[in-house]
Amino acid sequence: MGILTRSTVCRKPNESMRLIVTTFVGIVFGFLVGVSFPTLSLTKLNLSNSLLTTIDFAYTDYKKPGPSSSAQVSPPIGNNGNSVNATSEKIWVPSNPRGAERLPPGIVRAETDLYLRRLWGKPSEDLTSTPKYLVAFTVGYDQRQNIDAAVKKFSGNFTILLFHYDGKTTEWDEFEWSKQAIHVSVRRQTKWWYAKRFLHPDIVAPYDYIFIWDEDLGVEHFDAEEYIKLVRKHGLEISQPGLEPNRGLTWQMTKRRGDREVHKETQEKPGWCNHPHLPPCAAFVEIMAPVFSRDAWRCVWYMIQNDLVHGWGLDFALRKCVEPAHEKIGVVDSQWIVHRSVPSLGNQGEAQQGKAPWQGVRDRCKKEWTIFQTRFSRAERDYFKAINSTSH
């Protein structure tokens, strides 16, 4: 017991001393941390902000001196040492596109393109070519051989865009050209549904001409580059290749003439044309294989209705988008095609009330034609009525 007591007594001073030393060290450490904290915080802040030296998003208000003021006010300095373009006068540019009024005009990019870009390297070195024309086909995989033949008629000056109504896309990789094409897949939709949603004029602005074609066209007698030359030569803003006359035709206007390059008018059945310069005797092409200039397409896109997906009735209204229409709309005879009339998209419908799928689709087409004509005539009537009422 004497030994234990002596040992306990001897440890108490040591523990007391250790406690004193620990407390003192803690106080000194806390003091040092407290003194150094503002410096550490600023260092961390500057380090974090250094990530934003390329683009400084900070907005700092500062007042410009008035005319009578002699004070010199320097603009705020960004983290990279450059002046920050920020003033108390906020940006508002009414001439910018809608929604972009708050942006400096120099940064606004109102138009885009369908050119493919890399995930690496310098952006300025991405494009090895910039096609001048666009061809869009609405396709099903069953028509792949026909589309393969058609695509080969279009040179490297064309961007190839496929709209897939049957959901099959990767299967097309059996064709080498398909790996560079653009594929958009939405089941059971028509080319005008696609065009309204994916071919906005500001998206296809780089292209001089836009081809919007069906999948069942024979192109043995067609060359796209030669076609473009003739369209330019004859000043056509809206056009189509002539159709083989030995197959079923709906309109005389689109039948190929064998003795000329281009024709712009025709003779139809008695009573079909109210005027020789109006459809279907002139200013008329069909919707199976139309070709639009950039300017004409900007107008036509706005004419396409969101809910009328088959496009029936558009062919009679296209003339509204060019002037004079009977001179700028025509059929190219020397570059002609064959309409095979394959009802592939029609078979994407559903059988209802004992009708085959294609019958339901055809009925919808006819209804859309009537609806479109009614809407257009009503819109024109309302416009002229409003104009006349304000002028009196």
For residue range 347-357, what is the model confidence (pLDDT) as tens digits? 676 777 777 77
| 25 vs 354, higher pLDDT | 354
- On whether the CB atoms of residues 316 and 372 are closer than 8 A, the answer is no
Domains of the chain: 131-345 (3.90.550.10)
Instruction: Give the tens place of pLDDT for each residue, 198-220.
Output: 999 999 999 999 999 999 999 99
What does the block give as tokens for 144? 């792949």
Question: How far, in Å, CA of 263 to CA of 230, rounded?
Answer: 11
What does the block give as tokens for 344? 């592939």
- On whether the CB atoms of residues 230 and 182 are closer than 8 A, the answer is no
Range of weakest confidence among 10-14, 18-22, 131-135: 10-14
Segment 19-23 mean pLDDT: 64
Question: What angle is formed at CA 186 by the lines to CA 350 and CA 287, rounded to 5 degrees?
Answer: 75
**Mean of all residue pLDDT scores within the chain:** 84
Residue appearing with tokens 């809407």: 375
pLDDT of residue 352: 75
pLDDT of residue 57: 41
pLDDT of residue 355: 77
- Binned at pLDDT 50, 70 and 90, residue 1 comes out as very low
- Binned at pLDDT 50, 70 and 90, residue 34 comes out as low
Question: How far, in Å, CA of 303 to CA of 376, rounded?
Answer: 9
Kind and range of the H or E element at 266? none
Residue appearing with tokens 């109210």: 274
Q: Does position 191 have pLDDT exceeding 90, yes or no?
A: yes
Strands 209-213 and 291-293: antiparallel
Q: Does position 54 have pLDDT exceeding 80, yes or no?
A: no
Kind and range of the H or E element at 54? none
Q: Is 292 helix (H, G, I), strand (E, B) or coil?
A: strand
Question: How far, in Å, CA of 377 to CA of 52, rounded?
Answer: 56
Q: pLDDT exceeding 70 applies to what percent of the chain?
A: 75
Question: How far, in Å, CA of 212 to CA of 202, rounded?
Answer: 16
Q: Does position 55 have pLDDT exceeding 60, yes or no?
A: no
- Binned at pLDDT 50, 70 and 90, residue 68 comes out as very low
Question: How far, in Å, CA of 174 to CA of 179, rounded?
Answer: 9
Instruction: Give the tens place of pLDDT for each residue, 83-134.
Output: 555 556 899 999 999 999 999 999 999 999 999 999 999 999 999 999 999 9
- On whether the CB atoms of residues 300 and 325 are closer than 8 A, the answer is no
Q: Does position 162 have pLDDT exceeding 60, yes or no?
A: yes
Instruction: Give the tens place of pLDDT for each residue, 208-261.
Output: 999 999 999 999 999 999 999 999 999 999 999 999 987 667 899 999 999 999
Strand-pairing partners, residue 332, are 241, 262
136: Cβ contacts below 8 Å, ≥ 6 apart: 161, 162, 163, 191, 194, 195, 199, 210, 211, 212, 213
pLDDT of residue 392: 67
Q: Does position 27 have pLDDT exceeding 80, yes or no?
A: no
Quick one: residue 271, left, alpha or beta (phi over 0 = left, psi -120 to 50 = alpha)?
left
Global confidence as pTM: 0.78
